[in-house]
Amino acid sequence: MDRHSEAFLEMIAAERGAARNTLLAYRRDLDDFAAFAATRGQGASQADAETLRLYMAGHAPAGLKARTAARRLSALRQFHRFLLREGVRADDPTSLLDSPTLPGTLPKYLTEQEVDALLTAAEQRPGRTGAVAMAVLEILYSSGMRVSELLALPRAALSGDAQLLLIKGKGGKERMVPLSDRARAAAMRLIEATDTQSRFLFPGRDPKAPLTRQSFFLLLKQVALAANLDPARVSPHLLRHSFASHMLAHGADLRSLQMLLGHADISTTQIYTHVMGERLRRLVEQHHPLARAI
């Protein structure tokens, strides 16, 4: 990897607070492009528009998914904008590239009855594991936060009668999310059942570190089994989707939901509008004069 690529990765780590997995994905994408550019006698930072066009055109024949191509194009666009801004290049050869057409997929989510089944199964688990399960489910479902945000919650965030949680999301951006009475009560029961002074609300085996994603995923799968749900289907992100879908179904507006989820662009939040169709149909049936006259 050349020095310009390394400088780009350092920039997104320092200025944007990119997560480790994001950095690894960017590095893989840049390495893949650099290998292709080398076959045409060019470096990654000096490649011309034709090299970029041929690189992107080769994704479909190679059997790669459109999402993979879109991710790589995004990485290359950000890389070349960085080169342009730093004066390494006088042009941006990615500006003429077309984005791959992505298939329209709807987010999967649990029904409200399935969420109730999960909560009931968690409540029936004995001891501290039951307290952990109840707290994570109540907080995730009532706030829609990401699993990384959940596991990083400090114990002090639940002190007193806090009605709001300060969440540090992607890129270090902070947002406030409301905490339901049920979620707060579940968190307090967990604190009472936890024999440690860890600064984390969900401490791991080592109290100095939070619960690992692997341990959390395993607990969630166990609760799903007890709730007679397919454990392969249940994930923290599914709960985030469920929170968003159920909020819209019960009348929340997109802008408020965007703030709660911590989306930088409202277009990301708009994927959840699929649940609004049924609600709009009911509104027409209830309030349109011709619908009532039938």
Closest to 48 measured CA to CA, from 58, 60, 36, 59 = 36
Contacts of 10 (CB under 8 A, 6+ apart): none
How far apart CA 220 and CA 275 sit, in angstroms, is 25
> Is 287 one of the annotated active-site residues of the chain?
no
> Is 237 one of the annotated active-site residues of the chain?
yes
Amino acid at 200: F
Catalytic residue among 26, 55, 141, 272: 272
Catalytic residue among 71, 170, 175, 189: 170
Helices (DSSP H) in the chain: which residue ranges? 3-15, 20-39, 49-57, 66-85, 112-123, 127-143, 147-151, 181-193, 213-226, 236-249, 254-261, 266-269, 276-287, 289-293
Catalytic residue among 67, 237, 255, 281: 237
> Is 55 one of the annotated active-site residues of the chain?
no
Catalytic residue among 80, 240, 241, 246: 240
Question: Rg for the chain (alpha carbons), in Å?
Answer: 23
Helix (H, G, I), strand (E, B) or coil at 266: helix
Unique residue bearing structure tokens 């969420």: 115
> Is 28 one of the annotated active-site residues of the chain?
no
> Is 175 one of the annotated active-site residues of the chain?
no
Catalytic residue among 4, 72, 80, 146: 146
> Is 274 one of the annotated active-site residues of the chain?
no
Residues annotated as part of the active site: 146, 170, 237, 240, 263, 272
